A and B are shown apart, each in its own frame.
Chain A
Amino acid sequence: EAEVAQSPRYKITEKSQAVAFWCDPISGHATLYWYRQILGQGPELLVQFQDESVVDDSQLPKDRFSAERLKGVDSTLKIQPAELGDSAMYLCASTRTSETQYFGPGTRLLVL
């Protein structure tokens, strides 16, 4: 069964450093999402792509976060510089339709 791949699974960094997360969606899924889940909260949407275009990045802190999906397949989420409050689980999901979103295992980020 096809799965959404994410790497790394865990990342520890110091504040003010740059970090990057990678996501490879299920083949054929045009829509890709990045979510952030802070401990004790539900996942919150950071950015949504339709193919290579950003559909919604209204909740993305654009002063330090950037996301790209250059060829409309895999995607990278970058944080520069990282802050202590960025410690969270970063989830990637993909879908072919407007219904079920399929999630990857996430990247757990700890900023020291």
Chain B
Amino acid sequence: ILNVEQSPQSLHVQEGDSTNFTCSFPSSNFYALHWYRWETAKSPEALFVMTLNGDEKKKGRISATLNTKEGYSYLYIKGSQPEDSATYLCAWGSGYSTLTFGKGTMLLVSP
């Protein structure tokens, strides 16, 4: 079984702190790496899809990088806000539309 690992499991920061999470995945048979944000009682929301080694994506205060050769991706949040509190999931795509998810990183941002 090929695993997708996310760290840390959970994180508690203060408003204004910057933070980052790690997603590690098998470097073989790589197709795409997805990041999702999942707020309580809502649908998981797609943040980024990255396919190329060295990809960097940005959406507001959130950005992500991708290293397919060593099998990791970082998600950065600059100046965390309470509304950023959510579980952040990464998913490794090894083929056409097949995703393997990590367990997620639960972020809590306190005012």
Q: Which residues of A contact B (CB under 8 A)?
A: 3-4, 31, 35, 40-45, 48, 56, 91, 95, 98-106
Contact = CB atoms under 8 A, between A and B. Distances in A.
A37 to B, nearest CB: 8
Nearest to A56: B98
Size class of the contact patch on chain B? 20 to 34
Contacts of B100: 42
B101 A31 contact: no
B108 interface: no
A40 B43 contact: no
A109 to B, nearest CB: 15
B59 interface: no
Given A3-B43, A105-B42, A99 B32 contact: yes
B41 A42 contact: no
Interface of B: 4, 31-32, 34, 36, 41-46, 49, 89, 91, 93, 96-104
Contacts of A43: 89, 101
Given A31-B97, A95-B97, A100-B49, A4 B103 contact: no
Given A42-B89, A98-B31, 9 more contacts: A41-B103, A42-B101, A43-B89, A45-B98, A91-B44, A98-B32, A102-B43, A102-B46, A105-B41
B88 to A, nearest CB: 11
B103 A103 contact: no
A4 B43 contact: yes
Given A31-B97, A99-B32, A42 B43 contact: no
B43 A103 contact: yes
A56 to B, nearest CB: 7
